[in-house]
Amino acid sequence: MKPQHKPETDILIIGSGISGLMCALKAAETYHVTILTKKKLATTATAMAQGGIAAAQENSDDGMREHEEDTLIAGEHHNQKQAVQHVIRHAPNMIKILREYGVEFDSELTLEGGHRKKRIHHTKDTTGKTIEDALIKAVKKQKNITIIEDAMTLELLGDTKACRGCQYLKDATIYTIQSAYTVLATGGAGQVYAHTTNPKVATGDGIAMAHRLGATISDMEFIQFHPTALLDRYNPHFLLSESLRGEGAMLRNAKGEAFMKQYDPRGDLAPRDKVSQAIFIEQKKGKVFLDISHKPAAWIRERFPAIYPAVLKRTKQDMTKEPVAITPVAHYLCGGVEVNTRGETSVPHLYAIGETARTGLHGANRLASNSLLEGAVYGIKAAEDILQKLSTKEKLPSGSAKKTSFSIASQPFAMKHVRQQIQDTMWTLAGIHRTQADLSKALFQLQRIRDILPPIHMVNEEIMEARNLLEVSLLIVKAAQKRKKSLGCHWIK
């Protein structure tokens, strides 16, 4: 039976990755929650995460301090220290909670780039899917949660004084839903780029909508490019987990040489920004490869049961016998909607969590496997803060819920072409390596693209995604222009 639209809810959560689902489960203990998601519940970046979730061992204060230090080093100390401590101190409890929801982590921890110790909790190479499946199962059991799938959120209701819900499109009908509190958990914006590991739905919707409402957006120049995605014709590109290098895989250039020590003393386990930039330079001389073929074949197939067959199917390369061609691609947005340690944005009654949010944890470059952790911590903390406010009968400020008069597009628009133009512009002019001249060209081209978009009131899912991609692209380019010196994953000359 399809869920019936209800015009009001206590808490509206837009998005269904780890942060949104954790938030929903906590909030639904007391109040009614509505989850809106653009596709299906499981169509998320969380479900695609291979590596794991970073957490120092419980009762190991030294371990936590080291995790904090590794996070700060990877983030080039652009991080907010309060956010770093906040997230990492809650990490052991997040592992406990996920286990309570049925996530069975492997007994042995693994290592990833930027970490000095093994502290990555994982389930083989499908950690994200395992977590997503467990949380979805728990959400579907909750009577206080209404799930609305295949619903494209168009705009947030309200203004800078308060967010009051949203308008969304489902089954060729536009609905309005008002809420006491709204939580953006819409994921990242990797589809801004022509080459990315992100699912097709990662079009920066939450960031674009929050920006239009007047929320503070920051650190948009810090786009993390994952160094090891398969070099193939697919988009999204298939990710080769950082845990491969944690288990001994080596990067090799076209001559078969291990090259990372030339660029960073940490070698293959340097933070992602350093590795991606080194590969970018080496690719000017020829292809770059990831090689784990020196490990026993049976062990590779057992440790990486999803990656091994995927590589074989996509490229006909057998990673137990030969190196695999790789390339850096857009992977993670370190910036976003600025929030405090409770997930509150600058707009009252609006929260942002997960990759949509700029919490300050990642700084200028994300430490591997800190993202699922961040999503879990902020999902629960946002719910706790909202519950506390609702318990004190804090009501929505008076005033009408300002909304846009949308019309569903009755004629076709060439949005696929527009989307491709945006992605190509961003990849070639605002990608891994940037110059001020290229950024100026990018800004000019994006502004020209804006001129050919349909009228603002004309909507369908493709139009809104293109509009959001463009808005997020402009935020990235303008932020990159302002930061004159390289820092973390913002590499400029």
Separation between Cα atoms, residue 182 and residue 203, nearest integer Å: 19
- The secondary structure of 125-167 as a DSSP string is T-HHHHHHHHHHHHHHH-TTEEEE-S-EEEEEEEETTEEEEEE
Among the listed residues 245, 252, 272, 366, the single catalytic one is 272
Q: How many degrees, rounded to 5, is the angle at CA 277 between CA 268 and CA 49?
A: 65
Q: How many degrees, rounded to 5, is the angle at CA 41 between CA 380 and CA 190?
A: 85
- Quickly tell me which residue has 């222009």 as its tokens: 481
Quote the DSSP letter at residue 202: -
Q: Is 272 designated active site?
A: yes
Separation between Cα atoms, residue 78 and residue 68, nearest integer Å: 13
Residue 219, phi-psi category: left (phi > 0), alpha (psi -120 to 50), beta (remainder) = left
Of residues 354, 351, 413, 420, the one with CA closest to residue 382: 351
Angle between the N-to-C axes of helices 371-391 and 18-27, in degrees from 0 to 180, rounded to the nearest 10:
30
- What are the structure tokens assigned to 406, written together? 């949308």
- What are the structure tokens assigned to 22, written together? 């954790």
By the 8 A CB rule, do 383 and 100 touch? no
By the 8 A CB rule, do 49 and 226 touch? no
Strand 120-121 with 145-148, pairing? unpaired
Distances in Å between the Cα of 277 and the Cα atoms of 92, 146, 172 are 33, 44, 44
Q: How many CA atoms lie within 13 A of 105 on its CB side?
A: 22
Separation between Cα atoms, residue 10 and residue 14, nearest integer Å: 13
Query: Which residues on adjacent β-strands are paired with residue 174?
Result: 169
Residues with catalytic annotation?
Answer: 272
